[in-house]
């Protein structure tokens, strides 16, 4: 069954604690946290202190997506405050292999994220050494964007590559996810769906049904 990771980028920041508790109780598998630095993407969101504050609120997997450059200088900061998965964009750092090794050495699961403009074969060399591959189905930087259908082929490529080489990385899809687009992703091999506006754009009493709809 596909896992669901609500993205707190779409949550009500004035009630962030309650928003995380609500999706936790509603059955979320992961809590997805987007980190943007204003360099790799033209937006700024959270830092390690926010994750440290949120960590006691939920025991669910904290799935941290770094949209920052450079990357390696900040891995320790995020691993030490409670990140379980740390994904990054390989083109944002000079030595992705070193970043992946560091993430694993700090007892986190390493992941890579694929920008819509980048051919996935460019990052094929990392697929055997990561635990998560994030297919971006929007341009990273802002929430609430429309799903990019032309990225679905990357999901299928990853599924076939994973099976062919007997690998176990999770295929995570991030961007524009709703019931319709989620079904498309699942049919092509997605293991995890990140959903922001689809879940947090509703009332908390609806979170459980929305999460189940995505499954």
Catalytic residues: 34, 174
| C-alpha pair distances (Å), 135 with each of 13, 93, 117, 153, 162 | 26, 18, 11, 10, 14
Q: 169-204: buried (b, 16+ CB within 10 Å) or exposed (e) per residue?
A: bbbbbbbbbbeebbebbbebbbbbbbbbbbbbeeeb
Contacts of 190 (CB under 8 A, 6+ apart): 2, 135, 155, 171, 172, 173, 182
* Cα 194 from Cα 13, distance rounded (Å): 18
């Amino acid at each position: 069954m596909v896992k669901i990771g609500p993205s707190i980028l779409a949550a009500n920041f004035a009630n962030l604690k309650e928003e995380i508790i609500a999706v936790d109780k509603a059955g979320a598998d992961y809590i997805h946290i987007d980190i943007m630095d204003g360099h790799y993407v033209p937006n700024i969101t959270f830092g390690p202190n926010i994750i440290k504050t949120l960590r006691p609120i939920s025991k669910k997997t904290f799935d941290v997506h770094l949209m920052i450059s450079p990357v390696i200088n900040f891995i320790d900061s995020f691993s030490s405050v409670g990140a379980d998965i740390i994904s990054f964009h390989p083109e944002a750092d000079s030595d992705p292999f070193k970043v992946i090794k560091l993430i694993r050495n700090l007892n986190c699961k390493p992941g890579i994220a694929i920008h819509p403009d980048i051919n996935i074969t460019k990052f094929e060399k990392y697929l055997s050494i990561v635990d998560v591959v994030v297919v971006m189905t929007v341009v990273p930087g802002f929430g609430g964007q429309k799903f990019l259908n032309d990225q679905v082929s990357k999901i299928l490529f990853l599924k076939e590559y994973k099976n062919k080489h007997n690998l176990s990385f999770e295929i995570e899809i991030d961007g524009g996810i709703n019931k319709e687009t989620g079904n498309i992703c699942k049919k092509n091999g997605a293991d995890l769906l990140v959903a922001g506006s689809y879940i947090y754009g509703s009332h908390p009493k609806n979170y459980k049904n929305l999460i189940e709809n995505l499954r």
